[in-house]
Structures are given as structure tokens and as C-alpha cells.
């Protein structure tokens, strides 16, 4: 049973518009959440994270929102750029003890000019 | 500073053959992870090392998979014998400490294994 779910396999957005990628989780013990970006033939690279004590974290064009009661988080990219086209993975972990990442299946974002 | 290095980048073998993957983590990173990423899925942890010690290998199929991290630096992941279902991308990652939050895990480019 998947503990981290990304139900949209793909998303297409026009350049300059907002991209919203969604992620749901089932394990209420997760207390740290991350987004990774992956280009073809490369490994995932860390993008942004959020602790469960916050509901929003912003870094430039990227903002992650966390709704703990709904066990839902989202990544907003504003404005979207063609270079943002990649697969985005949502991941969750526990802050106590050793850090293990549980990944979702990923959402492929395509930003068209 | 060099990132995580993996080799080979691609490997094609026939089933029942052995195969090995090599990983060189970022200098100074004590924790090393091996993940497997199947097509259309996210990475799944196979094994985690803290220096030379494997601290989490619960997801490693021990009947055919083995790993080692001699001297707490480079690591090798081996499959013997390979099966068709082992076709996947094998990712290596490293971090300063296993207790650091996942945002500090740095991934290599992966080895794409195809078993025929």
C-alpha cells in the first residue's frame, strides 16, 4: 500500500502560468515532506521541503503548502518556465532517528512556451 | 565539488548473469543509500549505510542482492543471479549524516539495468 500518493501522472501548463502539483500521504507519523525534481538520465535533486510544524514554505518561485488535517501537500510554481519541465517527486520522512525517504510515483510537468 | 558518481551508467545483461554497480559518494558524507526505481515509480530504498555499517537493509532481497561499503567510502551493489524483474534504475545517494533530514540526500545519475 502506497503511503505517499501522487495521483496525477502528468500536468501540462503554459509558460508564465501557475503549476500546482499535488501529493497525499496516509501515514500520520510523517513529519517532514520534500519535493525532488528529476530530469531524464539524471538523479533526483532536492527542491524544497516543509516541516509538519509549518503550513507553508517559500523559496523563490516555489512554494509548498501542507494541510496536515487532510494529509495533503502541494507544490506551486509561479511563474512556470520551460526549464521546469521535469518529473516531480513528493517524498515524506520522519525527523526522529535515521532518515528514510518514502517517495510518490512522480508527476511529469510539461511547461510549454 | 564532485557529486555522487555511479558506474556504469547503463548495463544490459541476460537473465541469470551477475551484475555489479559502483558508487562513490560525496566526500565526507557518512551515509550512503541505494535505491531502486522501477519504471513509472518513485525510488525505493534498498539499503542504507552509516559509515561501514548497514543500518537498514530490510528491503534488500538478500537471496540475490548483496552490498558492501568497505572503508566507509565507496560502495558496490551486486545482483546474482539477475532476473527479468530486476530491470530498473539503481540510484545511489549520500548525506552527511543518516539523521539529517531527507532534503540533504544527494543522488547520483543512476545505473539503468536491462535484463533480457
- Return d(Cα B42, Cα B89) in angstroms, integer: 10
Using CB atoms, pick whichever of B42, B103, B105 lies closest to residue A105: B42
Give the residue from B114, B110, B115 showing the smallest Cα distance to B37: B110
- For residue range A25-64, what is the model confidence (pLDDT) as tens digits? 999 989 899 999 999 989 999 999 999 999 999 999 999 9
For residue A44, give the chain B residue with the closest CA. Answer: B107
- Return d(Cα A99, Cα A107) in angstroms, integer: 23
Residue B72, phi then psi, degrees to nearest 5: 70, 25
Write down the mean pLDDT value for chain B. 91
Note whether A98 contacts B93, CB cutoff 8 Å.
no
Question: Residue B98: pLDDT above 80?
Answer: no
- For residue range B28-83, what is the model confidence (pLDDT) as tens digits? 888 899 999 999 999 999 999 988 999 888 889 999 999 999 888 999 999 999 99
Quote the minimal CA–CA distance from B93 to chain A in Å: 9
In percent, how much of chain B has pLDDT > 90? 73
Which class for B33: exposed (0-12), middle (13-18), buried (19 or more C-beta within 10 A)? buried
Number of Cβ within a 10 Å radius of residue B42: 23
Site from B51, B102, B104 to mutate, A interface, most A CB atoms within 10 angstroms: B102
Amino acid at each position: 500500500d502506497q503511503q505517499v500518493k501522487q495521483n496525477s501522472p502528468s500536468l501540462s501548463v503554459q509558460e508564465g502560468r501557475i503549476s500546482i502539483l499535488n501529493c497525499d500521504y496516509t501515514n500520520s507519523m510523517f513529519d517532514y515532506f520534500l519535493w525532488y525534481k528529476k530530469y531524464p538520465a539524471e538523479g533526483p535533486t532536492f527542491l524544497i521541503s516543509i516541516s509538519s510544524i509549518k503550513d507553508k514554505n517559500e523559496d523563490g518561485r516555489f512554494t509548498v503548502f501542507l494541510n496536515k488535517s487532510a494529509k495533503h501537500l502541494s507544490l506551486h510554481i509561479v511563474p512556470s518556465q520551460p526549464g521546469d519541465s521535469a518529473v516531480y517527486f513528493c517524498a515524506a520522512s520522519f525527523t526522529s532517528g535515521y532518515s528514510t525517504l518514502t517517495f510518490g510515483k512522480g508527476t511529469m510537468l510539461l511547461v510549454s512556451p | 565539488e564532485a557529486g555522487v558518481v555511479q558506474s556504469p551508467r547503463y548495463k544490459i545483461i541476460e537473465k541469470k548473469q551477475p551484475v555489479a554497480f559502483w558508487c562513490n559518494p560525496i566526500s565526507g558524507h557518512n551515509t550512503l543509500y541505494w535505491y531502486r526505481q522501477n519504471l513509472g515509480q518513485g525510488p525505493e530504498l534498498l539499503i542504507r549505510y552509516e559509515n561501514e555499517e548497514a543500518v537498514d537493509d530490510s528491503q534488500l532481497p538478500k537471496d540475490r542482492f548483496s552490498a558492501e561499503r568497505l572503508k566507509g567510502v565507496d560502495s558496490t551493489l551486486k545482483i546474482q543471479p539477475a532476473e527479468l524483474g530486476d530491470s530498473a534504475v539503481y540510484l545511489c545517494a549520500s548525506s552527511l549524516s543518516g539523521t539529517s533530514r531527507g532534503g540533504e540526500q544527494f543522488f547520483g545519475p543512476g545505473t539503468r539495468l536491462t535484463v533480457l
